[in-house]
Amino acid sequence: MNFFKQSFYYILLTTIILISLIYRFAMKNGKPHCDNFVINVYLYITLSICIIGLFLHAFNLYFNKSSTLYELLPIYKAFKQTGTSVLVFVLLLFVSFGSLILLVLQNVFSKEGFLLNHTLWIIFLSTLSFILYPIFKSIQYSKLIGYAAYMTTMVFAIMSIIVYIFPKFFQNTYGVAMITLLISLIAIIVFELMLIFTGTYNVFIEKIMFYSILVVFSLLVSYDTSRMFEYAKICIDSPNYPQISTSQTLNILNLFQNFLIR
């Protein structure tokens, strides 16, 4: 799948529709409200993915001439095309994580900070798109993008539906589960770094890492869905939809990357 050749008009049209729906269902007098809370969060999650897609197209347009706009490249050339040195890449990671942390630190419900929340949200999505650009421009991953998107959608849908079926289980185990999943994720990252630096990475271990990450982020989808339901119950006014939706957006992207790369 040549992402840049096939997706722009679909993403643009979807983005326009989503913005219209958000303005219609999530806003009142230009401010967010709690009616249709769960639907509004899903609209923001979908809009986040579309915004990332639009930024990917914008970067593709910026880095390429018209003759090479839809040309796929080896991934090392795609990285080279962005002109991203190690220092610039670290700076982008700093901006990305910094904007994410600032967004997470904002209140979940507040009448103040509407513009700030959306600005941090856009900054985070734009820097994330820049980091993802070489993957979408590469020949190596082009054939797997459709597969990864399909599998990610299936996992997200199944794990979300499970929460609808067993809501009490996820509510009662939320605290312990989130701590366990966080520790597990840190352990996976540290273990993988050790394997890379010691040169002991192999096909068998890669499969273990794939399934480990799949389990962790699949469960995170369910527990973040459960937390969304809890927010819906206590919401009175002015929910921070960019913040509430971002955790699920990250779950989706991590699942997608896991299916794509591994």
pLDDT tens for each residue of 208-222: 889 999 999 999 999
Residue 133 has pLDDT above 70, yes or no: yes
What is the average per-residue pLDDT within 240-255?
96
Among 201, 49, 192, CA closest to 125? 49
Domain count, the chain: 1
With pLDDT > 70 as the criterion, what percentage of the chain qualifies?
98
pLDDT tens profile 137-180: 999 999 899 999 999 999 999 999 999 999 999 999 999 999 99
pLDDT for residue 197 is more than 90: no
How far, in Å, CA of 231 to CA of 41, rounded?
Answer: 11
Rounded Cα–Cα distance for residues 258 and 11 (Å): 23
pLDDT averaged over every residue in the chain = 91
Give the pLDDT band (50/70/90) at residue 38. very high
The residues, any chain, with a CB within 8 Å of residue 235's CB and separated by 6 or more, are 34, 37, 109
Q: What is the pLDDT of residue 84?
A: 64
What pLDDT is attached to residue 159? Answer: 96
Which domain range does residue 52 map to?
3-261
Query: Of 221, 75, 190, 224, whose CA–CA distance to 137 is shortest?
Result: 75
Residues across the chain: 262
d(CA 134, CA 55): 13
Tokens at 44, concatenated: 């923001």
Strands (E), the chain: 27-28, 31-32
Which one, of 7, 145, 138, 153, lies nearest residue 78 by Cα?
Answer: 138
pLDDT at 85: 60
Contacts of 131 (CB under 8 A, 6+ apart): 89, 92, 93, 96
Q: Are 138 and 99 spatial neighbours (Cβ–Cβ below 8 Å)?
A: no
3-state DSSP assignment of residue 138 = strand
184 contact partners, CB below 8 Å, separation of at least 6? 212, 216
Long-range Cβ contacts of 185-191 (<8 Å, 24+ apart) = 185/216, 188/212, 188/213, 188/216
Question: pTM for this one?
Answer: 0.91
Confidence of residue 86 (pLDDT cuts 50, 70, 90): low
DSSP 30: T
